Amino acid sequence: MIIGIGVDVVDLARFERATLRTPGVLTRLFAESEQWEGGVRRSLSSLAARFAAKEAVIKAIGDSTGVRWHDMAVVSDGLRNPAIEVYNALADIVAARGITSIHLSVSHDAGIAIAYVIAEGHGVQSAGGVK
């Protein structure tokens, strides 16, 4: 069952200006493993797509109470397919909402980065039914 969906778009030029204006922003938003691949810093477009993914996750989950940027990380499998790992406060929210899978798709082109997330699971019972 789909628990929630989320989508986010990041303007690459605006993201670049933010990183130049506030150099520590990348460390605040991303784990080291998200910033680097094979000893090379990821491109700003790749990082912007990861930021869009984190925003889309929050929208799909439907709650960000107590969540920090490092409570999630965008990872890739051997074929470079993106996925989300959740930790700490976000992992607690995911479990409480009955979410068992988070599906992620990201892209960047023509000055934008976009991410789409589907949160799937069994949901939780409430007085009004499953939510």
Q: How many domains does the chain fold into? A: 1
**Range name among 5-9, 36-40, 99-103 with the lowest pLDDT average:** 36-40
Q: Provide mean pLDDT across the span 37-59.
A: 95
Q: Provide mean pLDDT across the span 15-33.
A: 95
Q: Are the C-beta atoms of residues 45 and 12 closer than 8 Å to each other? A: yes
Confidence category of residue 126, pLDDT binned at 50, 70, 90: low
Q: Which of 117, 46, 114 is nearest to 84 (CA)?
A: 117
Domain that residue 43 falls in: 2-130
Q: Provide mean pLDDT across the span 20-24.
A: 93
> Is the pLDDT score of 55 beyond 90?
yes
Question: Is residue 74 left, alpha or beta, with left meaning phi > 0 and alpha meaning psi from -120 to 50?
Answer: beta
**Range name among 32-36, 58-62, 124-128 with the lowest pLDDT average:** 124-128
CATH number of the domain enclosing 50 = 3.90.470.20
Q: Are the C-beta atoms of residues 9 and 107 closer than 8 Å to each other? A: no
| % of the chain exceeding 90 in pLDDT | 85
